[in-house]
Structure 1
Amino acid sequence: MPERTVKIASTSGLHARPAAIFSQAASEQSAEVSIEKAGAAAVKASSILMLLTLNADHGDEVTLRAEGEGAEESLDALAALLTKNLDENL
C-alpha cells in the first residue's frame, strides 16, 4: 500500500477550513485514502469529523495511505494540498 508522510503547512493545522477542504478533496479521489498522526489511529481522510479527531497542528507530520486504483495519484494530490497553507485563499 503506497504512502506519503507530509508536514501540515496550514497555520491552524488540520482544523476547520483546512479540514473541510482536505476532506472534500479526499472524497473526490478514486482511491480510498487514510490519514494518520503518530500515536493515533488512522482515520478515513474523506471524513471531516474523523480528521478533527487527529488534532493535527501546524508542523505536525501525518502519513497518508491509499488503496485501490489511482492510489499514487490520489496520494500525490492530497500530499500537495497539505503542503499549502489552506487558511489562505487558494
Structure 2
Amino acid sequence: MPERNATIASRVGLHARPASVFIEAVKRQPMKVTISKGGSTPLDAASILSIMSLGAANGDIVTLAAEGDGAEAALEELATLLETDLDAE
C-alpha cells in the first residue's frame, strides 16, 4: 500500500478550516485514504471525527496511505495540501 508522509503546515494544525479543506479533497479521491500520526492506528481521512481525534499540530508529521489505481497521485495531491498553510489563504 503506497504511503506518503506530510508535515502539517497550517498554523493551527489540522483543525477547523484546514481540516475541512483537507477532507473535501480526500472525498474527491476515487479510493479510501487513511491518515495516522506517530505510528498510531490509521484512521479514515474523510472523517472529521478521525481528523480531529488525530490532534495534528503545526509541524507534526502524518502518514497518508491509499490503495488502488491513482493512489500515488492522490497521496501526492493530499500531502501537498497538508504542507500548505491553509490558514494563510
The residue aligned with 1:25 is: 25
- The percentage of counterpart residues that share the same residue type is 51
Instruction: Give the distance between the partners of 2:42 and 2:64, measured in 1 at CA.
Output: 9
Q: Does 1:3 align with 2:28?
A: no
TM-score (norm 2): 0.95
* Dislocated runs of 4+, deviation >2 Å: none
Instruction: Give the distance between the partners of 2:60 and 2:71, measured in 1 at CA.
Output: 23
Deviates more, 1:31-40 or 1:50-59: 31-40
The residue aligned with 1:57 is: 57
TM-score (norm 1): 0.94
1:40 Cα deviation from its structure 2 partner: 2.6
Instruction: Give the distance between the partners of 2:56 and 2:24, measured in 1 at CA.
Output: 17
The residue aligned with 1:80 is: 80
Instruction: Give the distance between the partners of 1:40 and 1:2, measured in 2 at CA.
Output: 17
Count, aligned residues? 89
SS of match in other structure, 2:78 = helix
Instruction: Give the distance between the partners of 1:42 and 1:32, measured in 2 at CA.
Output: 11
Letter in 2 for 1:64: L
**Where do 1:35-50 residues align within 5 Å?**
35-50=35-50
Q: In angstroms, what is the RMSD of aligned CA positions? A: 0.9
1:34 Cα deviation from its structure 2 partner: 0.4
Instruction: Give the distance between the partners of 1:85 and 1:60, measured in 2 at CA.
Output: 13
